[in-house]
Amino acid sequence: MIQEKDKVTGLMVFFLITASQVGVGVLGFQSIIIKYAEQDAWISIFVAGAAISIIIWIMYRMLGWNKTGDIVAIHQDAIGKLAGNFLSVIFAFYLLILSVVVLSTYLEIIQVWMFPHIDMMAILFLLLPLIYYIIAGEFRVVTGVSFFGVVYPSLLMLTLFYPFHFGHIANIMPVFDHTIKEILQSSRLTVINFLGVSILLVFYPYISDSSRSRRNALFGNLYTTILYVIICVVSFFYYSQEELKHIIWATLGMWKIIELPFLARFEYIGIATLFFSILPNVVLYTWASARTLHRTTGISHKKICVFLLIILFGACMTAQDRETVNLLNDMISRVGIVFLFVYIPLLFFLYLLRRKVKKNAA
């Protein structure tokens, strides 16, 4: 049972949800989502955000039905202890893969844009002790990192005024020029930026008066949606659709044109500042993975953290080229869509049916 002193207020759910969704994706999602809807792809972000809001509602319903209020307890109640624990372990490693994708992508950006000859092992040896310190302690520490991971990088929004000034409205015209099918196809490509919402299934018991925090979770998802839409629209103003097809990191390209009297390469500041968004991503996913494994196996939380960080280190050292990183992103996107929009609703109806059967038997 989690003590009241270890819980955080419902307001923090806003920052936890936002911190789990905003990360390295803001640097290059624009060139991915235009595949089907092109200049109308910004509409697909609203569609994806609305779909995620429905999933959040479903999660809260399930979590509210269980006294423990996490995915391990839900699995055990809905499916049985043995099968439920097996699925919980799979979910834990899914979260760990999310962490690997975020960290390996950020390390690639550092190597390509800032320090081409830097040793990735050296960076990981600096980062992993910090990650361990955060995830091995109380959940309040993880929440604090998430809070600053939302507040501090939000200052980068001011930089979008500069490329907007050089944009052309013709680049985003005509509006509503694509079919619903094309919008939905682009929405599917957008969902990878929202996959972090899955951690709600783990941290829910750590929220004071958690049943009333749903509004904050929905506001967090709305904030993320609007943030991605703003970045997307500015990018579409600045780049033509043909240019976006050949650009990997569109946001970095916009930062590159910013000139200051005392700084020639503003993208260095942007990449460094974005670390405060990347760290909460990695911390939240790894902590949630460790927490799930701890609840499933009973092994010490700190020992599991060490085990997961060893895996994280090995995976990041392996995924150091663009092809491997792209493969990881594509794989986790497909798995994440199935998890959120197939598995979660299926688990919801199965749990609902199980509750009705128990109620009728009683």
Give the residue from 56, 66, 57 showing the smallest Cα distance to 20.
56
**Higher per-residue confidence, 44 vs 359:** 44
Query: What percent of the chain stands above pLDDT 70?
Result: 99
Give the CB-side neighbour count of residue 347, counting CA atoms within 13 A: 30
**Max CA-CA distance within the chain?**
75
pLDDT higher than threshold 70 for residue 101: yes
What is the mean pLDDT of the segment spanning 160-176? 84
Can you give the pTM of this predicted structure? Answer: 0.94
pLDDT higher than threshold 80 for residue 321: no
Q: What are phi and psi of 312, to 5 degrees?
A: -60, -45
Average pLDDT, the chain: 90
pLDDT of residue 84: 92
Listed in sequence order, the residues at least 6 apart from 261 whose beta carbon sits closer than 8 Å to its beta carbon are none
What is the mean pLDDT of the segment spanning 185-189? 92
Separation between Cα atoms, residue 193 and residue 26, nearest integer Å: 8
The amino acid at 235:
S
- Helix boundaries (H) for the chain: 12-21, 30-37, 41-64, 71-79, 81-109, 120-135, 139-151, 161-165, 180-190, 200-203, 214-238, 241-244, 250-256, 266-297, 301-318, 322-338, 344-361
What is the mean pLDDT of the segment spanning 250-255? 88
pLDDT higher than threshold 80 for residue 183: yes
pLDDT higher than threshold 90 for residue 197: yes
pLDDT higher than threshold 90 for residue 340: yes
Give the residue from 229, 252, 253, 254 showing the smallest Cα distance to 161.
254
What is the mean pLDDT of the segment spanning 194-205? 94
Separation between Cα atoms, residue 351 and residue 65, nearest integer Å: 9
Instruction: Place domain 4-345 in its CATH homologous superfamily.
Output: Amino acid/polyamine transporter I (1.20.1740.10)
Separation between Cα atoms, residue 229 and residue 42, nearest integer Å: 6
pLDDT of residue 117: 82
328 pLDDT tier (thresholds 50, 70, 90):
confident
Determine the 3-state secondary structure of 68 from DSSP.
Answer: coil
What is residue 66's DSSP assignment? Answer: S
362 pLDDT tier (thresholds 50, 70, 90):
low
Separation between Cα atoms, residue 248 and residue 322, nearest integer Å: 11
160 pLDDT tier (thresholds 50, 70, 90):
confident
What is residue 70's DSSP assignment? Answer: S
Other Cβ atoms closer than 10 A to 288: 29
Separation between Cα atoms, residue 72 and residue 89, nearest integer Å: 9
pLDDT of residue 355: 85
* Per-residue buried b or exposed e for 2-35, using 16+ beta carbons within 10 Å of the residue's own CB: eeeeebbebebbbbbbbbbbbbbbbbbbbbbbbe
Q: Which two tokens stand for residue 198?
A: 């899955």
pLDDT higher than threshold 80 for residue 322: no
pLDDT higher than threshold 90 for residue 161: no
**Residue 135 Cα distances to 72, 152, 194, 210, 307, angstroms:** 19, 20, 22, 21, 12
pLDDT higher than threshold 90 for residue 326: no
pLDDT higher than threshold 90 for residue 16: yes
268 pLDDT tier (thresholds 50, 70, 90):
confident
Other Cβ atoms closer than 10 A to 92: 24
Domain map (residue ranges) of the chain? 4-345
What is the mean pLDDT of the segment spanning 210-233? 92
178 pLDDT tier (thresholds 50, 70, 90):
confident
What is the mean pLDDT of the segment spanning 220-248? 91
What is the mean pLDDT of the segment spanning 258-262? 75
pLDDT digits (tens, 9 = 90+) for 44-85: 999 999 999 999 999 999 998 887 788 999 999 989 899 999
